[in-house]
A and B are shown apart, each in its own frame.
Chain A
Amino acid sequence: MNRRDWLIGSAAVTGSALTVRLQRRKDARDLRQKRSRIAILHADQYSDKLDELVYHGLRLFNLDIRGKSVLLKPNIVEYIPGKPVNTDTQLIGAAAEAFVRLDAASVTVGEGPGHDRDMDLLLHETGLGEQLVHRKIAFVDLNRDELIKTKLQSNYSALGHFVAPPNGSDIGFHRVHAESQNPSLVEGDAQHEKHVWHCAGMPLRLAQEHSPLGRNPRMHSRYLRNDPSSLRNR
């Protein structure tokens, strides 16, 4: 390499680094509050009493849910009889119900398990299908349904983009998470996410990502599992 090549190479590397840095600075809007607010609510067992508990827990935070489309992403991995490896479906149902009661324009539960790809079977085996039918909550199979990829407007996630149902994600991004039964993990998460509930050993973590998909005027009110027109989305 001669001196000329070295200079050209150095300029290219410096230019690329500057571009990346500027790009990162532009995208990396930190919308997190300095202190996260946390509610720890006691529940003795999974039951329909969770409905009231989660609803009143949510109300403590004065969240602006009215007119928003909410996507709940639980953590359904696979079904192993007798082993609670998934978010309890009563907690998922209670969370969905709470957002409906808080005047969300729509509430959708979405899941795309990486292990067992048969979502229909998982809905049946875990009892989640029954919960959603009972509560008339829409479900989206994140492995198979039509999804759109949209750039995140915040940096809670390092992914940079968010993939969600086209008309079910006006939202903040809300998660019902099961894997962190370890209180220390809950504490750690509080730095990144806005609110943490701890219900019967299962934290309900809500990460508001400030409407990553923008406001969508279309309501996602169809109940996919019973509506033949839902085939258009599949």
Chain B
Amino acid sequence: MLRDRACPQGGWNAGNGIVFGSALTPHTDTTAIALLALAENADPADVQGLNWLRAAFVKCSSAYSLAWFAIAFLMHQDRVLDRCIAYLHRALFSELSISNIETLSLAVIAINAVEGNENPFQVVI
């Protein structure tokens, strides 16, 4: 179902990828979260989503989105991870950063996860 709902250009919007015949644009957090669920597979939709993330993060100034990008790149062991983390640090210290609790928490989770190379959402039983 997740793959069926992917946007035509890659990535995921909040719901369907197409509404009333119009293709929707993907969202950063939704795409990253979808890719977390699909981390162990390599379907074309996953690859397309990851490609969209790679193109999107370089233009992104938001710490919230960059944190999600970093977590998704970590789970897919993607080559752009280090660059994404550098962007995240830069965004966190930007004057214009909103720095709300949710963003800061997510950024800490992302940075810690990358440093420990661990899935922050893995449930240990």
Contact = CB atoms under 8 A, between A and B. Distances in A.
B29 A117 contact: yes
B95 A118 contact: no
Contact of B14 (A115, A141, A225): A115
A78 interface: yes
Contacts of B97: 120
A218 interface: no
A119 B65 CA distance: 10
Interface string A122-165: 01100001000100000001001100000000000000000000
Contacts of B65: 118, 120-121
Interface residues of A, number: 21
Contacts of A145: 100
Interface string B63-96: 1110000000000000000000000000000011
A225 B98 contact: yes
B62 A118 contact: yes
A141 B29 contact: no
Contact of B63 (A120, A129, A144): A120
Given A118-B64, A121-B61, A226 B95 contact: yes
Interface string A20-42: 00000000000000000000000
5 contacts: A118-B27, A118-B64, A120-B64, A226-B95, A231-B101
Q: Which 5 A-B pairs have the closest CB atoms?
A: A121-B62, A234-B100, A120-B62, A120-B98, A124-B61
Interface of B: 13-14, 25, 27-29, 60-65, 95-103
Interface of A: 78, 80, 115-121, 123-124, 129, 133, 141, 144-145, 224-226, 231, 234
Given A115-B27, A120-B97, 9 more contacts: A80-B25, A115-B13, A118-B62, A120-B98, A121-B61, A145-B100, A224-B98, A234-B99, A234-B101
